Amino acid sequence: MKAYVNGRWTEGGESFPVRNPYNNQQIGSAPLLSRQDVREAVIGAKEGLAQMNSLSAYERYQILQRAAQGLEEAAERFARLLSLEVGKTIREARGEVSRAIQTLTLSAEEAKRISGEVVPFGSAPGSGDRVGFYFRVPIGVIGAITPFNFPLNLALHKVAPALAAGNSVILKPASATPLTNELLCQLLLQAGLPPKGISLVTGKGEEVGEALVRDEKVRMITFTGSLDVGRRIMQGLGLKKATMELGSNSAVIVEKDAILSEALPRIRDGAFTVAGQVCISVQRVYAHKEIYDDFLDGFIPLVEGIRSADPLDETTDMGPMISPQAAQRAKEWMEEAMGRGGKLLTGGGVKGSFMEPTVLTEVPRDCRVVSQEAFAPLVVVNPYGEFDKAIEEVNSSIYGLQAGIYTQDLDRALKAARRIEVGGVIINDISTFRVDLMPYGGVKGSGLGREGPKYAIEEFTEPKLVSIRFHK
């Protein structure tokens, strides 16, 4: 692949391999760019900002709408590359492409809706001779740093709203999955995006990513990734704005009145989609003790029915994790839990990048599979007695992205909505529920700001005031 810097495609000097997690075969390579390449990208992005500002809102709408149409036409090509690059199943990859089309379309529509409001100066003493308003303007050059698990749609959740608002963007994808982003940049440029409206930089996070974070001409960083990396980014930001989506160890409460026939397959899907490598994967389940045995009796066969195989096989349910190292880390966390009294109910085997769909129970709160983000096909099911205790367990996490609760009791559902410390409470569904138009983001260690095109545009713009003094 090539990077795209200052309006030009470049192969750079050195490169690094991109491998298929399923069989470890090399499927491509990407340029190993330097800090100087990032500086060159920033110079181009500053010029690109002027190009973007010359476009009307309607012209930005047209570009993004054409990109959505182009993605729809190239959907299978993108899906196949996603499956090869990430290791997700071809069906999961098609789902990501479908969502990415929606993200582009929603961003296109929101480009036409950016507005401001009248400021009532006359309501302040001595300002009766003034009228005024504010409108929203782009922040400037946006640095977008994206993760490996959804390299198309999560990139578009940053890039598309930023472009809709009139910013220029420098995109730094995860080193494990840069190939899809080359296709994405080509798609946007073919749709009519100004040549310097976007840049694509690839390479090491500590080199390319840090240079992007520290460059004073970059006015905002939007990042999705781990809490540890997010903290390091925040320390180096200086006078920049930031949105941070930093993951979670999401929980679902299953009350004794839950409809298990609905909850069980959804929790299975929420725990094992993309091999559990989703920020809002179901990692913790708290099942009421009165239905705990019934829950496990129904859940374990569903988990054991998951077929792990070649992601390009249409019948495969779950692909590999992103690397053998990631799978081995998850196994070590599982073994720690078992050494602390946790019980393995199914799964646990690791071979290469594959980890069997795994269910643990009776795991102490301070074990890593409960307290940290596993990002693996692994779920802990623990029983509880009192509803307040279940909420306490959910809130014991340093994270707070999303949580789910299954109950037919409206009072308890609303109590959960009020008291669970997360950015989104999903009632009678799993924490993994997300549609691309909703405000999405977390509290505590799960980050800052919100995504979803409408809400992201608020992050990517700032109000500019106009005050007019008139003669009475």
Q: Residues 178-206: what's their mean pLDDT?
A: 97
Cα 454 from Cα 439, distance rounded (Å): 8
- pLDDT for the residue 13: 83
pLDDT digits (tens, 9 = 90+) for 135-171: 999 999 999 999 999 999 999 999 999 999 999 999 9
Domains, the chain, ranges and CATH?
Answer: 3-247+445-468 (3.40.605.10), 251-436 (3.40.309.10)
Cα 46 from Cα 63, distance rounded (Å): 20
For residue 53, count other CB atoms closer than 10 A to its CB. Answer: 14
pLDDT digits (tens, 9 = 90+) for 231-245: 999 999 999 999 999
For residue 331, count other CB atoms closer than 10 A to its CB. Answer: 18
Band of the pLDDT at 21, cuts 50, 70, 90?
Answer: very high
pLDDT digits (tens, 9 = 90+) for 439-458: 999 999 999 999 999 999 99
Q: Residues 376-398: what's their mean pLDDT?
A: 98
- pLDDT for the residue 471: 83
Percentage of the chain beyond pLDDT 70 is: 100
- Token digits of residue 76: 């299978």
Identified catalytic residue from 110, 279, 451, 458: 279
Q: What is the rounded average pLDDT for all residues in the chain?
A: 97
End-to-end CA distance of the chain: 65
Is the pLDDT at 35 greater than 90? The verdict is yes
Give which of 352, 412, 413, 343 is closest to 383, Cα–Cα. Answer: 343
The answer to whether the beta carbons of residues 169 and 197 sit under 8 Å apart is: yes
The answer to whether the beta carbons of residues 196 and 48 sit under 8 Å apart is: yes
- C-alpha distances (whole Å) from 302 to each of 269, 433, 467 are 10, 19, 63
Percentage of the chain beyond pLDDT 90 is: 99
pLDDT digits (tens, 9 = 90+) for 316-361: 999 999 999 999 999 999 999 999 999 999 999 999 999 999 999 9
pLDDT digits (tens, 9 = 90+) for 107-140: 999 999 999 999 999 999 999 999 999 999 999 9
Is the pLDDT at 189 greater than 80? The verdict is yes
63: left (phi over 0), alpha (psi -120 to 50) or beta: alpha
- pLDDT for the residue 65: 98
Question: Residue holding tokens 């298929």?
Answer: 20
Band of the pLDDT at 12, cuts 50, 70, 90?
Answer: confident
pLDDT digits (tens, 9 = 90+) for 55-94: 999 999 999 999 999 999 999 999 999 999 999 999 999 9
367 catalytic residue (yes or no): no
Q: Residues 367-378: what's their mean pLDDT?
A: 98
The answer to whether the beta carbons of residues 87 and 21 sit under 8 Å apart is: yes
R_g of the chain computed on alpha carbons: 23
Task: Tell me if residue 223 falls in helix, strand or coil.
Answer: strand
Let me know if 421 is exposed, middle or buried by CB neighbors in 10 A (0-12, 13-18, 19+). Answer: middle
Cα 78 from Cα 234, distance rounded (Å): 33
For residue 288, count other CB atoms closer than 10 A to its CB. Answer: 21
- C-alpha distances (whole Å) from 267 to each of 16, 338, 373, 467 are 37, 22, 17, 54
- pLDDT for the residue 191: 98
Cα 274 from Cα 80, distance rounded (Å): 15
CA angle 146, 225, 354 (to 5 degrees): 95
Cα 164 from Cα 162, distance rounded (Å): 5
Amino acid in the structure at residue 85: E
- pLDDT for the residue 437: 97
pLDDT digits (tens, 9 = 90+) for 288-301: 999 999 999 999 99
The answer to whether the beta carbons of residues 405 and 428 sit under 8 Å apart is: yes
Question: Residue holding tokens 């769909």?
Answer: 357
- C-alpha distances (whole Å) from 374 to each of 276, 280, 325, 377 are 8, 11, 13, 8
Identified catalytic residue from 40, 110, 245, 459: 245
Is the pLDDT at 472 greater than 80? The verdict is no
